[in-house]
């Protein structure tokens, strides 16, 4: 075939999908891959030589907080523009971020506001609809409406003041999701246990950043993971557990999957390379690493790799949370530095670091192969969240979202390379082997050699149609389907 038939040919690379690795050329017309084949001849279209490089689907980051409003009136600091640049810098071409409902709010206006914000960016996007207040109108009218508008995932918190749901409310959301045909994603930590431990720590004068980890040990995550799954099983509603921090909560997922429950597990780079010891760095430095669940330690990280290889954890997101570090009155210093750990905002930035860390720690260190890397960072989130086959693979008909990857390139991570608006990265100084040298989003080169070139406003919303992957099993205790009756 002649390249003049194409707008773009990526020639001579090693194509890696979630299932195959092979040498091929990729022909693109407009925004779409039309041919994956051999010896596509040069002609009038643009040619990109990919000899010696891996050519993989652009990453999908299915858990990131961008321009998200907080109940206290603050906002995650990265705008959609900055976050898009960070995505492209790190080889990610699609995100699922959040539309956050607060107490008393109807979902329609909330979703409209986040659409307005996301459309200003460059990276393709969808949302998980956060439900913080499942009152009747939200459950009966709003959830079906947002799902019909293409938002096929809801998110709930089982902890955090002002946003957490109790078990009864969680059951309501699960039932509403099942009736509407959406997945539920869960932040699983035990609210009351954290509150009780926190009170004890503060009374004992244990207030430094490192006590954040003491306030939420693994057992409170394991308990909440078990409960989240048990209640989802009761309702027969598929769920994903967000940010699994170690092998113990992962074992809850594995046990449930073994009995057929539709539950999936996600982890993040912070649980693979950071640890509780980072929160014990001198002075206020430990604040940089405060996130929930708390990073554990090397043994837990290794246990997560076991869970990844076993297929229990099948998605690695960034949980990108933009809180700056050095600006007085903002981000991690919103309440100053002479404060107890409860006053320090949770979360770490990681959009651009995600793929390099997972590739380096996973593929370069021999823990997983490159196809598994693609499944964890692109193909599996595409399948789980209803974006496949448009996203997450390299095949005729799919969007031409590609990352060209130099598997041998050694880079020391530093904040300048992250291209977010945040003034630090928790991964500063981490050496990685393997780096994205070009990112292509819907046929456009949006990053080359760490330089991002994309037009603000070029983002596209990714509406998600009904999809079979999350179909409930039709199995209920005693054969009694309470969710069909309860509103």
| Burial class for 245, CB neighbours closer than 10 Å (0-12, 13-18, 19+) | buried
Nearer to ligand URP, 272 or 446 (CB): 272
Nearer to Zn ion, 187 or 444 (CB): 187
Nearer to ligand URP, 14 or 318 (CB): 318
CB within 8 Å of 301: residues ≥ 6 apart: 246, 271, 272, 273, 275
Nearer to ligand URP, 318 or 372 (CB): 318
Nearer to ligand URP, 65 or 442 (CB): 65
**Minimal distance, residue 268 CB to ligand URP, in Å:** 8
Stretch that binds Zn ion, among 3-11, 316-324, 386-394, 465-473 (CB under 5 A): 316-324
**Minimal distance, residue 471 CB to Zn ion, in Å:** 26
Nearer to ligand URP, 47 or 100 (CB): 100
Residue 346 binds: one of Zn ion, ligand URP, none (C-beta under 5 to 8 A by kind): ligand URP
Matching residue, tokens 């693994």: 218
Residue 364 binds: one of Zn ion, ligand URP, none (C-beta under 5 to 8 A by kind): none
Nearer to Zn ion, 236 or 319 (CB): 319
**Minimal distance, residue 186 CB to ligand URP, in Å:** 10
Reduced 3-state DSSP string for the chain: CEHHHCCEEEEEEEEECCCCEEEEEEEEECCEEEEEECCCECCCCEEEECCCCEEEECEEECCEECCCECCCCCECCCCHHHHHHHHHHCCEEEEEEEEECCCCCCHHHHHHHHHHHHCCCCCEEEEEEECCCCCHHHHHHHHHHHHHCCCCEEEEECCCCCCECCHHHHHHHHHHHHHHCCEEEEECCCHHHHHHHHHHHHHCCCCCCCHHHHCCCHHHHHHHHHHHHHHHHHHCCCEEECCCCCHHHHHHHHHHHHCCCCEEEEECCHHHHCCHHHHHCCCCHHHHHCCCCCCCCHHHHHHHHHHHHHCCEEEECCCEECCCCCCCCCHHHCCCCCCCHHHCCCCCCCCCCHHHHHHHHHHHCCCCCHHHHHHHHHHHHHHHCCCCCCCCCCCCCCECCEEEEEEEEEEECCHHHHCCCCCCCCCCCCEEEEEEEEEEECCEEEEECCEECCCCCCCCECCCCCCHHHCCCCCCHHHCCHHHCCC
Q: Which of 172, 187, 210, 262 binds Zn ion (CB under 5 A)?
A: 187
**Minimal distance, residue 386 CB to Zn ion, in Å:** 20
Residue 240 binds: one of ligand URP, Zn ion, none (C-beta under 5 to 8 A by kind): none
| Interface with Zn ion, residue 319, by CB under 5 A | yes
**Minimal distance, residue 363 CB to ligand URP, in Å:** 25
| Interface with Zn ion, residue 128, by CB under 5 A | no
Matching residue, tokens 């938002």: 151
Nearer to Zn ion, 8 or 241 (CB): 241
**Minimal distance, residue 425 CB to ligand URP, in Å:** 15
**Minimal distance, residue 345 CB to ligand URP, in Å:** 8
Stretch that binds Zn ion, among 101-109, 172-180, 315-323, 363-371 (CB under 5 A): 315-323
Nearer to ligand URP, 11 or 332 (CB): 332
**Minimal distance, residue 291 CB to ligand URP, in Å:** 4
**Minimal distance, residue 471 CB to ligand URP, in Å:** 27
**Minimal distance, residue 420 CB to Zn ion, in Å:** 15
CA–CA separation, 414 vs 426, rounded Å?
9
Stretch that binds Zn ion, among 185-193, 327-335, 377-385, 475-483 (CB under 5 A): 185-193
Q: How many residues bind Zn ion (CB under 5 A)?
A: 2
Nearer to ligand URP, 187 or 332 (CB): 187
| Interface with Zn ion, residue 323, by CB under 5 A | no
CB within 8 Å of 97: residues ≥ 6 apart: 64, 65, 66, 68, 83, 114, 118, 125, 126, 127, 128
Number of other residues whose CB lies within 10 A of the CB of residue 396: 13
Residue 250 binds: one of Zn ion, ligand URP, none (C-beta under 5 to 8 A by kind): none
Residue 288 binds: one of ligand URP, Zn ion, none (C-beta under 5 to 8 A by kind): none
Site string for Zn ion, 131-170 (x = CB under 5 A): ----------------------------------------
Residue ranges that bind ligand URP, judged by CB under 6 A:
65, 187, 243, 291-292, 319, 321, 346-347
Residue 291 binds: one of ligand URP, Zn ion, none (C-beta under 5 to 8 A by kind): ligand URP
**Minimal distance, residue 323 CB to Zn ion, in Å:** 12
Residue 320 binds: one of ligand URP, Zn ion, none (C-beta under 5 to 8 A by kind): none
């Amino acid at each position: 075939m002649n390249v003049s038939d194409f707008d773009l040919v990526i020639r001579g690379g090693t194509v890696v999908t979630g299932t195959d690795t092979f040498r091929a050329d990729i022909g693109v017309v407009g925004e779409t891959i039309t041919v994956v084949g051999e010896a596509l001849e040069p002609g009038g279209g643009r040619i990109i030589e990919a000899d010696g490089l891996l050519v993989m689907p652009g990453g999908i980051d299915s858990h990131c907080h961008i321009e998200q409003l907080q109940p206290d009136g603050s906002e995650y600091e990265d705008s959609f523009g900055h976050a898009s640049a960070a995505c492209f810098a790190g080889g990610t071409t699609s995100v699922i971020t959040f539309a956050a409902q607060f107490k008393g709010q109807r979902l329609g206006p909330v979703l409209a506001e986040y659409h307005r914000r996301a459309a200003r960016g460059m990276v393709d996007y969808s949302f998980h609809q956060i439900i913080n207040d499942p009152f009747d109108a939200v459950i009966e009218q709003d959830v079906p409406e947002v799902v019909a508008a293409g938002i096929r995932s809801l998110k709930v918190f089982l902890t955090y003041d002002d946003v957490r749901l109790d078990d009864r409310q969680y059951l309501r959301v699960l039932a509403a999701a099942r009736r509407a045909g959406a997945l539920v994603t869960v932040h699983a930590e035990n609210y009351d246990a954290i509150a009780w431990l926190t009170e004890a720590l503060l009374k004992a004068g244990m207030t430094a950043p490192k006590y954040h980890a003491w306030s939420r040990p693994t057992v409170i995550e394991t308990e909440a993971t078990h409960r989240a799954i048990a209640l989802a099983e009761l309702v027969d509603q598929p769920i994903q557990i967000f940010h699994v921090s170690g092998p113990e909560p992962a074992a809850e997922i594995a046990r449930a999957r073994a009995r057929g429950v539709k539950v999936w597990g996600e982890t993040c780079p912070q649980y693979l390379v950071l640890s509780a010891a980072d929160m014990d760095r001198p002075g206020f430095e430990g604040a940089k690493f405060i996130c929930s669940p708390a990073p554990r330690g090397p043994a837990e990280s290794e246990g997560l790799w076991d869970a990844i290889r076993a297929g229990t954890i099948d998605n690695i997101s960034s949980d990108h949370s933009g809180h700056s570090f050095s600006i007085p009155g903002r981000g991690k210093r919103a309440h100053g530095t002479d404060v107890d750990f409860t006053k320090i905002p949770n979360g770490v930035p990681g959009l651009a670091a995600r793929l390099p860390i997972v590739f380096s720690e996973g593929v370069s260190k021999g823990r997983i192969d490159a196809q598994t890397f693609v499944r964890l960072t692109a193909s599996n989130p595409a399948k789980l969240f209803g974006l496949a086959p448009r996203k997450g693979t390299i095949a005729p008909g799919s969007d031409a979202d590609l990352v060209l990857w130099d598997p041998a390139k050694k880079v020391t991570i530093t904040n300048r390379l992250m291209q977010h608006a945040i003034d630090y990265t928790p991964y500063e100084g981490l050496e990685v082997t393997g780096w994205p040298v070009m990112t292509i989003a819907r046929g456009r080169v949006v990053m080359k050699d760490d330089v991002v070139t994309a037009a603000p406003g070029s983002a596209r919303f990714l509406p998600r149609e009904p999809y079979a992957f999350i179909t409930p099993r039709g199995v209920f205790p005693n054969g009694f389907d309470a969710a069909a009756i309860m509103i």
